[in-house]
Structure 1
């Protein structure tokens, strides 16, 4: 049986917690199949942020604003020149299940803000990832057996452009503050990207309460 070494980061939660929070019309044992069907059949227009809402949030001068960083969650590229056009990715690129155990008890689900970051934030059998695990993490000695076990780690700060984005436990955006003060505020957590919040609600996958439970994570695992 062939296998691949996978790495990713994004916003997610344990699979069991997702099954409890999901708002899709399905039984627990059908959650994964229903999630797949929802994204596979979704109209691309559902991932376009309402233009008025996008402009209002993007150009707002109000404190604690929560702007969208892209007008369309399916955009898979950035425009480097004026004549460049945006290319749409697939809705199914926006989520992944991290399979840790055969029975799924320790699996996780991860979502990506848009297709651009979905492609940037996951790799399979990447030479650099393998080198870091085999030659750096354990010292690279011939006698050292590298640890190839799955690791899913939830982190205390955001990822990428959202690294300084904060929200309350109820999902309200909050301005960044210095680390000394931030360490005293367990009520503040990494803010979920607005693009992700938009399409998960639009597709009926999670409501605001469920989305507020998503946390940034980094993961590595062996996929068979």
Structure 2
């Protein structure tokens, strides 16, 4: 019986596509090992590896109408701004991403801009939540839903920022509700990838800029 229900959102892509685009070196010819390479890469990062300089923060803020990167340390569990001289707790680099998996295999991978949002955007539920999800629907049918839902535009505080598929920022703020922005293959304007994600992906050789452009806002539910 499954024991944990996961709910998460962020910027991701199907695992098969990530395997094609990822530029991390593999020790063998089998792409199935990429999950371990990715896991070890992130868990090997030090705090300094994921701290942006002021110049990098300006470069990756995506222009005058894009969200500013207000804390260059992506592992802070709270934003340093407004804390004065108080220390901010630092988390683990491995929490900047998560795999979406069904009981048999990995389906998708999701990345977070920083750990402030990463901690808010990923939740592990206990057996009570799992039972309610399975049996709390009208009619009492036991359906444990596993789904991955790609959206056209992103999530607060990135929801109003857009780009073309080649990564060019689009001026203006999309005025859409969450309900009316499903992703379509025909969409030429999509949610902008947060600058923090683009920075650490390209700096550490995980994806090229072109690969980062294929990340999309996504929410998912899965269980283990």
Matching residue of 2:5: 5
Matching residue of 2:48: 45
CA distance in 2, matches of 1:194, 1:157: 15
RMSD, aligned α-carbons: 2.9
Alignment of 1:174-213 (within 5 A): 174-177=170-173, 179=175, 186-213=187-214
Q: 1:32 to 1:76 in 2, by over 3 A?
A: same
Deviation at 1:83, TM superposition (A): 3.8
Matching residue of 2:147: 151
1:32 and 2:28 matched: no
CA distance in 2, matches of 1:73, 1:124: 21
Deviation at 1:54, TM superposition (A): 2.0
Alignment of 1:68-87 (within 5 A): 68-79=69-80, 81-87=83-89
Deviation at 1:82, TM superposition (A): 2.7
Matching residue of 1:170: 166
CA distance in 2, matches of 1:21, 1:108: 13
CA distance in 2, matches of 1:2, 1:65: 41
Unaligned runs of 5+ in 2: none
Matching residue of 1:23: 23
CA distance in 1, matches of 2:125, 2:60: 39
CA distance in 2, matches of 1:109, 1:44: 22
Q: TM-score, normalised by structure 2?
A: 0.82
Unaligned runs of 5+ in 1: none
> Matched residue of 1:9: which SS?
strand
CA distance in 2, matches of 1:178, 1:161: 13
CA distance in 2, matches of 1:169, 1:94: 23
Deviation at 1:53, TM superposition (A): 3.1
CA distance in 2, matches of 1:206, 1:15: 13
- Matched residues, number: 213
Q: TM-score, normalised by structure 1?
A: 0.82
Contact in 2 for aligned 1:70/1:195 (Cα 8 Å)? no
Deviation at 1:177, TM superposition (A): 4.1
Which segment drifts farther, 165-174 or 62-71?
Answer: 62-71
